[in-house]
Amino acid sequence: METSVVDVPERGRFEIRVGDRTVGLASYHIENGTMALPHTEVDPAVGGQGMGTALVAGVLSAARERGLHVLPYCSFVRHYIQQHPEDVDLVAEDDRGHFGLEPAAR
């Protein structure tokens, strides 16, 4: 089955789908060029299969494409960014300390 990450703006979330089945979501709110990411969840039936990681990667990719900064309020998103330092630049420099993130390597 094909996995896809889809923006569903009318619901304020990205969804990760396996075929036509939604197996996870990441809620968001965009204001003043910043995407706040307060919550992600994945169906426990597909836990441990990398769905959360794929979901967050898709969300951050979309934020980058749209020229948005992110506020990783969700601990899963924060952890992902910590594990992928190439994405730290998506968090505005002034906000990084608030989320316990190191400055991006230059």
CATH code where residue 63 lies: 3.40.630.30
Residue 104 resides in a domain: no
Give the residue ranges of DSSP H helices in the chain. 51-65, 75-83, 93-96
Residue 68 resides in a domain: yes
User: What is the CB-side half-sphere exposure of residue 74 using CA atoms within 13 A?
Assistant: 23
* Number of domains, the chain: 1
Residue 106 resides in a domain: no
pLDDT band at 103 (very low <50, low <70, confident <90, very high): low
Q: Model confidence over 67-97: pLDDT tens digits?
A: 999 999 999 999 999 999 999 999 999 999 9
Q: Model confidence over 27-52: pLDDT tens digits?
A: 999 999 999 999 999 999 998 999 99
Residue 101 resides in a domain: no
Q: Is 38 helix (H, G, I), strand (E, B) or coil?
A: strand
Residue 105 resides in a domain: no
Q: Please give the sequence-ordered ranges of beta strands (E in DSSP) within the chain, or none if there are none.
A: 3-8, 13-18, 21-31, 34-42, 69-71
Assessment of whether the complete model's pTM goes beyond 0.95: no
Residue span of the structural domain in which 72 resides: 3-95
Strands 69-71 and 34-42: parallel
